[in-house]
Amino acid sequence: MPLLMGADAVFRAAPARAATTVDFTTLRTQWLDTLIGSFDLSDTVVAKYVTDSAAVAQSLWDSLDTSASRTYLWSDLNSSTTSAIQTTAAGRLRTLALALHSPGSSLSGNAQLQSDLTSAFDWFLANEYGPSVHSYDNWWDFEIGIPLALNDFCIVMFDDLTSTQITTATTAIAHYAPDPTITAGTTSTGANRNWACSIALVRGALSQDATVISGAKTAWETIFTYSTSGDGFYTDGGFVQHVYFAYTGGYGNSLLQYLTYSMKAASGTPWAFGSDKIAEVYTWTQNNYRPWIFGGAMMDMVRGRNLSRFYDTDHRSGRLALSTLVQLASVLPAAQAATVNAETKGWIAADTAQPYFTYDSAPIEQVRLASIVQGRALATNTGVTAVGESISTVMAPSMARAVHRRPGFAYAIAMDTAAIHPYEAGNLENQQGWYTGEGAVYLYLPNELAQFTNEFWPTVDKYRIPGTTLDTKTLSDGVGRTTTNTWAGGALLDGRAAVGMGLSFSVQTLVGKKSWFCIDDVIVCLGAGITSTDGRDIQTIVENRNIGPNGSVTPVIDGQTVLTMPSSAPTAFTPRWAWIPGQCGYVFPEGTTIQAVREDLSGQWTDMDLRGVYDDDTDYTRRFISFWLDHGVSPTNASYSYIQMPGATQAATSAMATSTDILTMANTAQVQAVTQTSTGITLANFWSASAPKAAGITVSQPVSVVVIKSANAVDVAVSDPTQQLTGSVTVTIDGAVTSTTAVDPGVTVEATSPNLTISVALSGSAGRSFVARFAK
């Protein structure tokens, strides 16, 4: 039975000493353990995974060109201009090698396959990858993609290859990737640095070169330094790659994956990772990864351009993260391993959209057999109790993302600023991601786990991304969305959040202010100052839910089932409330007119992904229920207000429409504020230093504020979502307090009577919330 709980002997760094042959062997065999490991074939789940993996490998072997005169390995991978083709070829060699050496595989120990593989390996290094082949197209394939696969191939096939073959492979890798501190001709950062270090670690083990491994360990140091700008991990829960993009579930996912394998492989050698580094990785799992996983899916808003890849859905990305976590637990101290195991066990059990133990034939690096084995050990271990989803609200201004999590849902908000761009369209991917990070809302429900996995992205109307306020101008594929907005984020206090984002662009005249006030099980959505002079219609998208192919769900508006027949023609309603059964309730102020459709939409993944590799050009059709607000052509100071109630019943939605518990106290371009009278919670975004008093709060600079007043206490949170203010802000709250209970560093209490006044030093605060607590 594989070890589930970490042990001190595993994570303790080895004493500094000269490397021996045994150390290289240890590193190599422990890397092999991350790929295959040991397992009991009497476990039918593991046995089926082995069998299904072998079936895919058999088809690859059947189509492998083994002729002496071959000019390619696979006929569908015959290209000398598209570098991704060669990464795919190397990946197929790895798949075949794993099938050859996995016990229980129908190809296990097959002498002919062994011969064909070594021959194909030699051909690949002679013709496609080596010092005589100049790199072309995408640098990533030559420096990272191909080396990762070749390293694994050499590890698995080590006893089948001669020393000359191993040397040929490591020499080829070193030719393209000699120094892990450099990728693409510049200083490597974030996931690129980690990949390069991992490649060097394994290359050093294969070539028995301690200098190469030591160089990788030194280069790794930058990964463990929290970032304050650009690529890397942030203390607020963010991860950024390519300077401008939220990428926890893309590059960050791979970073954790290969760092975990490297930590496992290096254990007990002179290059073992110290306990301080392993402790930091555990902190990342809790602060930088867990907030962005729901039901086993990695949220699309932190996956960058990956969301446009048919083979890399949110659940596939999440499954890869879980497969990493089950292996990471073995290098953590026992208490930390127990936490990670309990969380991972919960996600594995919850994910019905992409079952963890089912082999997935998508053309990506598969979940490693060792991770399936570790996952089975975890799932069947009655000593580990699965934990449910996090119910913490997280604000990550470093990557302009926020998530409000409560029992039964996660409400995620993707924003943009001049520092964090709305979408990445590099490498001809994600060509229609224009609005995926421009105030977009992603709602996750446990009974609707396949919302985005179920062909959402190829079929959804790209101009109706929920949460966004947009100019309806037709956009060109991959066109830049150059925002000049500086505000994204807000104040957070005890799970209640005032989230805001400004609308401001260099490519259009549309401006406005948007707020999402997250109060327990409701989110109050406000928009104000919505103005444009470009002569086009401006809309705010309230909702756009994928109800599947031929979905039977029909919305209910003010108690009446509507839109029973699918049609692309919008219908106007003036509702007090609307409800999508099993998904969400919506409450509108009296007199609000919404447009609504229940329509079938069709599209292809290749509409968004234009690379010409890994194509899925299938025509998919899905049915959507969409609500939006039409602000008209070139509006001036238009506004909106509505409440979202994720997972609410029809009765709860109807009751909210007649309730006076939640009050909008201000909704202008200067200040937006709401109050919940039953709880004493007030949330406000003050967009201007000259904003008038709202909900009993006055400020001297543009800030976000949350106040909670109870019978005996007043608690306050203040944030600078622009991350640009200097000096201090003065915040005055109507009413006196008797004493100070606790204040964060940077908060000064200026007065407690007749009103509470505090000042908060904002310089360099990076958008974080400052909290002060008082007794009445």
**Collapsed DSSP state (helix, strand, coil) of residue 686:** strand
Tokens of 549: 């192919």
Q: What are the pLDDT digits (tens) for 242-252? A: 999 999 999 99
Instruction: Write down the pLDDT at residue 16.
Output: 54
Q: Please give the backbone phi and psi of residue 615, each rounded to the nearest 5 degrees, phi first.
A: -80, 145
Q: Is residue 235 predicted with pLDDT exceeding 50?
A: yes
Contact between 710 and 695 under an 8 Å Cβ cutoff? The reply is: no
Partners of 489 in the β-ladder? 500
Sort residue 324 into left (φ over 0), alpha (ψ -120 to 50) or beta. Answer: alpha
**Collapsed DSSP state (helix, strand, coil) of residue 555:** coil
437-441, 476-480, 523-527, 574-578: segment of lowest average pLDDT: 476-480
> What is the sign, positive or negative, of the torsion defined by CA atoms of 262, 265, 267, 272?
negative
Sort residue 689 into left (φ over 0), alpha (ψ -120 to 50) or beta. Answer: alpha
Q: How far is Cα of residue 319 from the mean position of the Cα atoms in its chain?
A: 12
> What stretch of H or E contains 27?
helix 21-35
* For residues 425-437, average pLDDT: 96
| Cα–Cα distance, 688 to 690 (Å, whole number) | 5
Tokens of 530: 């919505």
* Res. 3 pLDDT band, cuts 50 70 90: very low
The CA-CA-CA angle for residues 573, 578, 581, to 5°, reads: 135
Instruction: Write down the pLDDT at residue 12.
Output: 32
What is each CA distance from 512 to 471, 506, 587, 666, 683, in whole angstroms? 12, 14, 22, 15, 19
What is each CA distance from 193 to 183, 242, 275, 536, 708, in whole angstroms? 8, 12, 21, 45, 44
Q: Is residue 1 predicted with pLDDT exceeding 70?
A: no
Who contacts 42 (Cβ-Cβ below 8 Å, separation ≥6)? Answer: none
Which of 49, 251, 444, 586 is an active site residue? 251
Q: Closest by alpha carbon to 368, among 264, 281, 510, 460?
A: 264
| Cα–Cα distance, 200 to 151 (Å, whole number) | 9
| Strands (DSSP E) found in 27-139 | none
Give the residue ranges of DSSP H helices in 208-290: 210-220, 251-266, 275-284
Q: Closest by alpha carbon to 340, among 276, 278, 401?
A: 278
Residue by residue, DSSP assigns 232-251 as EE-TTS-EEETTTEE-TTTH
Q: Closest by alpha carbon to 122, among 67, 166, 91, 83?
A: 166
Residue with tokens 């290094």: 125
Partners of 728 in the β-ladder? 761
Q: Is residue 436 predicted with pLDDT exceeding 90?
A: yes
DSSP state of 225: S
| Cα–Cα distance, 489 to 557 (Å, whole number) | 32
Instruction: Write down the pLDDT at residue 31.
Output: 98
Instruction: Write down the pLDDT at residue 11.
Output: 31
Q: What are the pLDDT digits (tens) for 104-163? A: 999 999 999 999 999 999 999 999 999 999 999 999 999 999 999 999 999 999 999 999
Contact between 75 and 131 under an 8 Å Cβ cutoff? The reply is: no
Mean pLDDT for the chain overall: 96
DSSP state of 694: B
Q: What are the pLDDT digits (tens) for 569-624? A: 999 999 999 999 999 999 999 999 999 999 999 999 999 999 988 889 999 999 99
DSSP state of 674: E
Q: Is residue 2 predicted with pLDDT exceeding 70?
A: no
Partners of 440 in the β-ladder? 414
| Strands (DSSP E) found in 532-619 | 537-546, 556-557, 560-561, 567-573, 577-580, 584-587, 594-603
Contact between 223 and 232 under an 8 Å Cβ cutoff? The reply is: yes
Who contacts 492 (Cβ-Cβ below 8 Å, separation ≥6)? Answer: 393, 394, 395, 498, 706, 717, 719, 769
Q: Closest by alpha carbon to 499, among 433, 389, 404?
A: 404
Who contacts 640 (Cβ-Cβ below 8 Å, separation ≥6)? Answer: 525, 526, 527, 530, 540, 592, 629, 631
* For residues 386-395, average pLDDT: 97
Contact between 731 and 758 under an 8 Å Cβ cutoff? The reply is: yes
Residue with tokens 């200083």: 187
Q: What are the pLDDT digits (tens) for 398-418? A: 999 999 999 999 999 999 999
**Beta strand pairing call for 713-719 and 770-775:** antiparallel
Q: Is residue 695 predicted with pLDDT exceeding 60?
A: yes
pTM: 0.96
**Collapsed DSSP state (helix, strand, coil) of residue 704:** strand
> What is the sign, positive or negative, of the torsion defined by CA atoms of 349, 355, 359, 361?
negative
Who contacts 115 (Cβ-Cβ below 8 Å, separation ≥6)? Answer: none
Amino acid at residue number 562: V
Q: Is residue 333 predicted with pLDDT exceeding 60?
A: yes
Contact between 445 and 409 under an 8 Å Cβ cutoff? The reply is: yes
* Res. 749 pLDDT band, cuts 50 70 90: very high
* Res. 254 pLDDT band, cuts 50 70 90: very high
Q: How far is Cα of residue 614 from the mean position of the Cα atoms in its chain?
A: 21
Residue with tokens 């072309």: 136
- To the query of whether residue 251 is one of the catalytic residues in this protein, the response is yes
Instruction: Write down the pLDDT at residue 361.
Output: 82
Domains in the chain and their CATH numbers?
Answer: 8-377 (1.50.10.100), 394-658 (2.70.98.10), 663-775 (2.60.220.10)
Residue % of the chain over a pLDDT of 70: 98
| Cα–Cα distance, 488 to 433 (Å, whole number) | 19
* For residues 449-477, average pLDDT: 98
Tokens of 390: 């996090």
Tokens of 325: 């976590």
The CA-CA-CA angle for residues 41, 45, 46, to 5°, reads: 45
Tokens of 422: 């709305």
Tell me the helix, strand and coil percentages in the chain, rounded to 5. 35, 25, 40
Omega before 754 within 30 of 0, i.e. cis: yes
Number of other residues whose CB lies within 10 A of the CB of residue 731: 26
| Cα–Cα distance, 301 to 477 (Å, whole number) | 19
Amino acid at residue number 459: T
Instruction: Write down the pLDDT at residue 8.
Output: 32
* For residues 653-675, average pLDDT: 98
| Cα–Cα distance, 122 to 362 (Å, whole number) | 27
Contact between 340 and 329 under an 8 Å Cβ cutoff? The reply is: yes
* For residues 347-365, average pLDDT: 91
* Res. 445 pLDDT band, cuts 50 70 90: very high
